[in-house]
């Protein structure tokens, strides 16, 4: 058929893992085709859309279309069909470059004990690989992304290489926290970030636009179009506006093709020697589960009944207060420092760990400030110069903390297919069952106590704690890796247990959530899998 696509390797998804894989394979002379459901983003238009948006959520510069539907933060029932007692509140977008367009940029490594949670603390499961096996690829990932960080502080994760760039300077607010917490158990440290602290790779240094989420106007912050461009310049073919809808499996258990449908109504098959699904931890199981056939009655790669299970996030405790002294938020990247020394310890036998993110964005996340602050002051009858003075006084003292809490895998937390609702291509919408367990809730309780202690040291009034957890934007689990085909979907090399020419990338393969923002680990695992995919093509 004229609409068919042929390559050595067919990759579904152009986010960070798919883009890195495509770039490395294409550079090695492998013929690569990338299928991307969404369209390319015009950065200037995205910035303008964000500026004009009434509701400023991570997805607002990238509104969903009928051809590339995705969840939105301000309406969690818009795309997801939620059936659990708790709302799953993390989202993603469908565009060329994936969700890296609106990620914060935090590039933390997992710590060694994160890979052996079960054997060390008796919860969750152990990963089939250890920290030592992934450590060299962490270094490579930091170089590929372009991470700025303090190489003298390993944040609990031993390093064999320095960061490629020095740290983003800490803000006045960061230094106020550090000074107040000196001598306490809370160690304020510069956060490693996927944004340039100096000009690098034809991208400028960060100039503090303060809109990292949802869009960096100048691309100082990394997004996966960096590697999409590398891939296409090396010969890879990018097929945007092309949605994968079905994985065909032959009698030999190998994947034979990926069926796709395009925005213009055309459709076809993408054929290759090897297939890589890198479609994020909701869309990957959705595609696999929709691929039911005589050869795959439970869906592709799902003989274990593990596809879609063990959905996790970093449920986030959000707290905010008014500092006694001015700390001048609303400047620079949205977060440049955090408290990372609470991510591991014997306490993990009874509760989830957490990392504390220190926000430079004032109360914008919890309340919509500073716009909301002006509204609230005006409703109090304050006008004119008095209003201006009150607004300056308050916003200069806005502080917030966010604790990203460890959530263990639970097979009942899962993505399935909606029995009644479908997208325009006929694929069922993602149905989600999600529940926070007692281990996670105990982590929340500990984080509230920590926030109270920190606020007290800093000197604050009006402390507020969100009564419900927030989504961190980290969608984890659903196609996890493991040595046992009965309890996992892919092996330690990210190859499907069921189909020898199928690989999966992304945070869906994570065995546990730990506390580190997942993007750096996603990239490291993708880099680790490159040689395995090459060998599969050759073999």
Mind telling me the catalytic residues? 474
Is residue 473 within 8 A of residue 314, CB to CB? The reply is no
Residue 502: helix, strand or coil by DSSP?
strand
In sequence order, the 6+-apart residues with CB closer than 8 A to the CB of 536 are: 273, 274, 495, 500, 501, 503
Please confirm whether the linkage preceding 214 is cis (ω < 30° from 0): yes
Name 461's bridge partners. 322
Q: How far is residue 5's CA from residue 121's CA, in Å, rounded to a whole number?
A: 48
DSSP per position, 46-97? HHHHHHH-SS--TTTTS--BTTB---BTTBTTSS-EE-SSS--------BTT
294, two tokens: 């005589």
DSSP per position, 230-265? HHHHTTPEEE-SEEEEEEEE-TTSSEEEEEEEETTS
Please name which of 416, 369, 419 lies closest in space to residue 394, comparing C-alpha atoms: 369
Q: How far is residue 87's CA from residue 189's CA, in Å, rounded to a whole number?
A: 32
Q: Put residue 164 in one of left, alpha, beta given phi > 0 → left and psi -120 to 50 → alpha.
A: alpha
Is residue 334 within 8 A of residue 206, CB to CB? The reply is no
Residue 189: helix, strand or coil by DSSP?
strand
């Amino acid at each position: 058929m004229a609409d068919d696509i042929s390559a050595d390797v067919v990759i579904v998804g152009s986010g960070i893992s798919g883009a890195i894989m495509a770039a490395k394979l294409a550079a090695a002379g492998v013929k690569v085709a990338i299928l991307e459901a969404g369209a390319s983003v015009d950065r200037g238009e995205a910035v303008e859309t964000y500026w004009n948006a009434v509701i400023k959520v991570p997805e607002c510069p990238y509104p969903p279309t009928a051809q590339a539907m995705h969840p939105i933060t301000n309406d969690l029932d818009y795309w997801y069909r939620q059936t659990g007692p708790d709302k799953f509140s993390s989202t993603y977008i469908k565009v060329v470059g994936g969700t890296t367009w609106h990620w914060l940029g935090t590039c933390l490594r997992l710590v060694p004990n994160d890979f052996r949670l079960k054997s060390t603390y008796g919860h969750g499961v152990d990963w089939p690989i250890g920290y030592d096996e992934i450590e060299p690829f962490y270094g490579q990932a930091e170089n590929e992304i372009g991470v700025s960080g303090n190489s003298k502080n390993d944040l609990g994760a031993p390093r064999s290489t320095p960061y490629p760039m020095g740290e983003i300077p800490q803000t006045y607010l960061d230094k106020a926290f550090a000074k107040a917490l000196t001598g306490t158990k809370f160690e304020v440290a510069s956060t490693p970030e996927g944004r340039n602290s100096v000009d690098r790779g034809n991208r400028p240094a960060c100039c503090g636009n303060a809109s990292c989420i949802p869009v960096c106007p100048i691309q100082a912050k990394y997004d996966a179009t960096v590697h999409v461009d590398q891939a296409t310049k090396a010969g890879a073919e990018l097929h945007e506006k092309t949605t994968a809808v079905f994985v065909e499996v032959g009698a030999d258990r190998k994947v034979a093709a990926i069926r796709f449908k395009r925005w213009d109504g055309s459709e076809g098959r993408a054929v290759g020697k090897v297939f890589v699904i890198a479609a994020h931890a909701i869309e990957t199981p959705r595609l696999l589960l929709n691929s039911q056939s005589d050869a795959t009655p439970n869906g592709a790669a799902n003989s274990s009944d593990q596809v879609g299970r063990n959905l996790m996030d970093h449920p986030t405790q959000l707290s905010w207060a008014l500092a006694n002294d001015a700390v001048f938020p609303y400047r620079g990247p949205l977060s440049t420092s955090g408290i990372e020394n609470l991510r591991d310890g014997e306490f993990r036998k009874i509760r989830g760990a957490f990392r504390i993110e220190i926000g430079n964005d004032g109360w914008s996340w919890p309340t919509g400030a500073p716009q909301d602050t002006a509204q609230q002051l005006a409703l109090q009858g304050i006008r004119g110069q008095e209003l201006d003075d009150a607004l300056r006084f308050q916003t200069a003292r806005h502080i917030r903390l966010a604790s990203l809490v460890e959530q263990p895998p639970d097979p009942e937390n899962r993505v399935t297919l909606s029995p009644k609702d479908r997208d325009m291509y006929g694929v069922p919408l993602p149905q989600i069952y999600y529940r926070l367990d007692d281990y996670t809730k105990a982590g929340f309780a500990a984080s509230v106590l920590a926030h109270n202690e920190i606020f007290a040291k800093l000197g604050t009034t009006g402390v507020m704690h969100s009564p419900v957890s927030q989504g961190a934007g980290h969608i984890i689990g659903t196609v996890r890796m493991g040595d046992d085909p009965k309890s996992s979907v892919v092996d330690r090399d990210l190859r499907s247990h069921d189909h020898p020419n199928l690989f999966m990338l992304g945070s869906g393969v994570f065995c546990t959530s730990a506390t580190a923002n997942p993007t750096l680990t996603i990239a490291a695992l993708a880099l680790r899998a490159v040689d395995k995919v090459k060998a599969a093509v050759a073999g």
